[in-house]
Amino acid sequence: MDESDLHFWKSIAIKMTDQVEKAISPLIGTKEAGEIIRMGADGTPSKLIDLVAEDEVIEVLVSSKRPVTLISEEIGTIKINSSPNEYIDIEALRNAQGKNLRNTEDFYNSSNDPQIIFVVDPLDGTSNAVKKIPAFGISIAIAEYTPTKDLPSLNDVKMGFIKNFATGDFYEVIKDKESLVNGKKVSPSIQTSLNHSSMGAFIYGTKFSQINNICKIIRRMRILGSVALELSYVGNGAYDAFMDLRGNLRVVDIAAAKLFVEQSGGLITDQAGLPLNGLLNLSSRTSIIATGNKDLHKEIMKIMEVI
Amino acid sequence: MDESDLHFWKSIAIKMTDQVEKAISPLIGTKEAGEIIRMGADGTPSKLIDLVAEDEVIEVLVSSKRPVTLISEEIGTIKINSSPNEYIDIEALRNAQGKNLRNTEDFYNSSNDPQIIFVVDPLDGTSNAVKKIPAFGISIAIAEYTPTKDLPSLNDVKMGFIKNFATGDFYEVIKDKESLVNGKKVSPSIQTSLNHSSMGAFIYGTKFSQINNICKIIRRMRILGSVALELSYVGNGAYDAFMDLRGNLRVVDIAAAKLFVEQSGGLITDQAGLPLNGLLNLSSRTSIIATGNKDLHKEIMKIMEVI
C-alpha cells in the first residue's frame, strides 16, 4: 500500500468512525438499542444498535467507490464495489444470513489482484452501549492481501483505528509507525512486577484453576467489557497487561488493537506464549496475553505454569 | 432536616461536585496526578489528584459558613465552621496526619445539637483517573445526626450525590424519595436469573472458592474500579447485581450509593445477607451484595451457600 492509498483508506476509516458514532448516539442507554432483530452471520443474535452501526460501515465503504472486502460480525464477509456499478442491497445480504459466511478460500481465490480488506467491529462493547457503561466503540483493521497460498491473516493488517465513543478517545496505528492516542505517541507500561500490576482480565467462564494464581497476586483487576479498547489500553499503559483466556475471542475483534499494542512496543501472544497469526474470518478464535513488556509477560507465563 | 436545609445542603453538594471536577480536570491521565504526596488519615498514601480534590471539598464546606463535620479519606474526620470565625488551615490538618482520625465517640459527644456530616470520597476510582480509564468521580453522602447512645451510621444518611466525571452522569437521591440519574427517575433491573445477569464483581484478592460458582454461572462480569459508581449501576439497572467480597470496603465510600440503590427499589446487604448499618468512620469496613430485586439476591445467596 503506497502513501496515497494509506491516506485514502485512513480517510475512509475516519469517515466510518464519525458516521457510526453519529448514527448510534441516539440509541445509547435505550432499551430499543438492545432489541434483538435477527441472527447475524456469525450465528449470534444481532441487536438493533449493532445493525445500525454496521449499516453505516457498509454505506461508507460503498461510497469509497473502490473495490473492498468487508468482514463484519452481522453481515459476514462481503465484497463491495467489485464491479463498477454494483448495487449493494444490505437488506438482501442480511436476509441471506449465514450464507455470506462463505468458504474463505474460495472467496479470496476469485481474484489475483491485491485486495483491501476492512475487518470491522462496528460496535465493540454492545451491551455497555445499551446500558451506558462507558466502554464501547468501533474497531477497524485494514489489511492488504495479495492472493498466494496463504489466506489473509492478522499479519496482513496494515492499519488500525479504534474509538471509544463514550470518551471520544481515538486510537490509531499504521504498521511500522508509532501508536497514537488522540494524535499523540503513546508507550506501554514499564511495570514488570505482577504485584503492582493493573490488569484487564476476561476470566469469567474460564477454568479458575488457570487464573487463580494470577488473581491472587495482581494489584488491580479490571473488566470493562470491550476487548478492542482494553487491549489498546496495553499500548498506552492504562493497563499493565490484558488477558482473555476464554479461548473464544474472535480474531477479527482484535485485529486493530493487536497492531496497536505491537507498534507501541508492547507484547502480545496467545495463552501458550505463541505469536498471534489467526486468519481474518469470523470463525477464527484465540486467547490473548498482552503486556507492556517482556518481563511482565514472562512473569505471567511463569505463574500460569505454561512455561 | 427540613426542606430548606435539604435544599441548602444539596446546593453545597452540587457546588462541591462542580469545583472538584474543575480542579482535577487538568490532571486526568497525567503522571503527576498519581504522585504520592503524603500518607492520608486512613493510613493509605495520598496521591496529588486526591489531595487537589479534597482541598476543594474542604473549601466548599468552609464557604457554606454553617457548622459541619467532614469525613474524608485523606484529611480524616474534621469539624468545619464550628465556631463563627474559625480558620481552617488545611495544610496544618494534613500535617497532623492520623491525629485527625480521633476516637469517634469523643468526637460526636462534644455537642448535643443535631449535626450535619458530609461523608465524602472526593475521588472514587483514583487510579482510573490517573490512567484515564472512564470510571472515576465524587461520592457525597449527607447525614444528619442527633447525638444519642448510637454513633452516626449509614442509617443517618439523608442524601447522596455521585458524579462520574468521565461521562458527566450525575446520580442523586434523597431519603424517602426517588433515585435520579441526570434528573430522571431510574429503576433497577428485573432480571432474576443469574445465567442472564451482568454483574459488577470485585473478586480479586478474595478466596476463589467463595465466588467460583458465581463466576461460572453469570452472563457478564464487569470490574470498572469505582465502587460508588458501580454500586449506583444497580440502582439504574446498568448492572443486574454488584458484589464486593473483599471485606475491606470502606463504609464511607458506599454511603451515598447505598441510599441510591435502596431508594431505587434495589436490595443491598452484606455478604451474610444482613442489612448494612456500618458506622460512619474511616475504619468501618464491609462486604456487599446488591441486586435489582429480591429474587436475584436469593439466587446469589443460594449459590454462595451462605443461606
Could you tell me which residue, A304 or B159, shows the higher pLDDT?
B159
Q: Which residue of B has its CA nearest to A208?
A: B212
Q: Which residue has the cell 431505587?
A: B264
Would you say residue B292 lies in a domain? yes
Type of residue numbered B282: L
Do the chains contact at A135 and B132, CB–CB below 8 Å?
A: no
Q: Are residues B218 and B281 in the same domain?
A: yes
Q: Are residues B292 and B176 in the same domain?
A: no
Type of residue numbered A246: R
Q: Are residues B166 and B74 in the same domain?
A: yes
Distance from CA of A219 to the nearest CA of B (A): 8
**Three-state SS for B236?**
coil
Range of the domain at A231: 194-303
Sign of the CA dihedral with B221 first, then B181, A171, and A123 last:
positive
A contacts of B239 (beta carbons < 8 Å): 131
Burial per residue of A228-240, b for 16 or more beta-carbon CB atoms within 10 angstroms, e otherwise = bbbbbbbbbbbbb
Q: Which residue of A has its CA nearest to B225?
A: A222
Distance from CA of B221 to the nearest CA of A (A): 7
Q: Are residues A160 and A258 in the same domain?
A: no
State how far the alpha carbon of B101 is from the alpha carbons of A162, B1, B250, in Å: 46, 27, 14
Whether B121 and B227 have beta carbons less than 8 Å apart is answered as: no
pLDDT above 90 for B207: no
Residue after which a domain boundary falls, among A184, A213, A230: A184
Would you say residue A27 lies in a domain? yes
Q: Are residues B45 and B149 in the same domain?
A: yes
Q: Are residues B252 and B161 in the same domain?
A: no
Report residue A48: phi and psi, to 5°: -50, -50
Residue closest to A306 by CA, chosen among A274, A280, A281, A284: A274
Would you say residue A189 lies in a domain? no
Would you say residue B179 lies in a domain? yes
Q: Does A204 touch chain B (CB under 8 A)?
A: yes
Q: DSSP assignment of B244-287, as one string? A: EEEEEEEGGGSHHHHHHHHHHT-EEE-TTSPBP--BSSTT-EEE
- The confidence band for A302, taking pLDDT boundaries of 50, 70 and 90, is confident
- The confidence band for A95, taking pLDDT boundaries of 50, 70 and 90, is confident
Measured CA to CA, the distance from residue A170 to residue B303 in angstroms comes to 41
Q: Are residues A133 and A249 in the same domain?
A: no
Amino acid A230: pLDDT = 97
Q: Does A130 touch chain B (CB under 8 A)?
A: no
Would you say residue B170 lies in a domain? yes
Q: Are residues A169 and A35 in the same domain?
A: yes
Do the chains contact at A220 and B216, CB–CB below 8 Å?
A: no
Would you say residue B189 lies in a domain? no
Would you say residue A273 lies in a domain? yes
Q: Does B203 touch chain A (CB under 8 A)?
A: yes
Measured CA to CA, the distance from residue B128 to residue B28 in angstroms comes to 9
Find the mean pLDDT for residues A274-298: 95
Q: Are residues B242 and B267 in the same domain?
A: yes
- The confidence band for B235, taking pLDDT boundaries of 50, 70 and 90, is very high
Q: Does B34 touch chain A (CB under 8 A)?
A: no
Amino acid A275: pLDDT = 96
- CATH no. for residue B50? 3.30.540.10
Q: Are residues A46 and A22 in the same domain?
A: yes
Lowest mean pLDDT among B104-118, B209-223, B233-247: B104-118
Model confidence, pTM: 0.92
Residue after which a domain boundary falls, among A132, A152, A184: A184
Average pLDDT, chain A: 90
Which range of A54-63, A104-113, A143-152 scores highest in mean pLDDT? It is A54-63
Residue after which a domain boundary falls, among A159, A184, A209: A184
Q: Does A61 touch chain B (CB under 8 A)?
A: no
Q: Which three cell numbers stand for residue A280?
A: 481474518
Would you say residue A168 lies in a domain? yes
Instruction: Give me the number of domains chain B comprises.
Output: 2
Do the chains contact at B222 and A133, CB–CB below 8 Å?
A: yes
Tens digit of pLDDT for each residue in A177-233? 999 999 999 999 999 998 999 999 887 666 656 667 777 788 888 999 999 999 999
Q: Which residues contact A187 (CB under 8 A, 6 or more apart)?
A: A236, A237, A264, A265
Q: Are residues A139 and A259 in the same domain?
A: no
Measured CA to CA, the distance from residue B265 to residue B42 in angstroms comes to 32
Whether A118 and A140 have beta carbons less than 8 Å apart is answered as: yes
Average pLDDT, chain B: 89
Residue closest to B131 by CA, chosen among A292, A283, A65, A299: A292
Closest residue to A238, CB basis, from B132, B203, B220? B132
Q: Does A169 touch chain B (CB under 8 A)?
A: yes
Distance from CA of A156 to the nearest CA of B (A): 30
B contacts of A223 (beta carbons < 8 Å): 221-223
Q: Are residues B180 and B269 in the same domain?
A: no
Q: Which residue of B has its CA nearest to A211?
A: B208
Distance from CA of B225 to the nearest CA of A (A): 7
**Three-state SS for A142?**
strand
Of the residues A124, A127, A131, A167, the best mutation for testing chain B's interface (the one with the most B CB atoms within 10 Å of its CB) is A131
Amino acid B108: pLDDT = 67
Do the chains contact at A233 and B203, CB–CB below 8 Å?
A: no
Amino acid A109: pLDDT = 59
Lowest mean pLDDT among A140-144, B71-75, B194-198, B199-203: B199-203
- CATH no. for residue A243? 3.40.190.80
Which range of B207-211, B269-273, B292-296 scores highest in mean pLDDT? It is B292-296
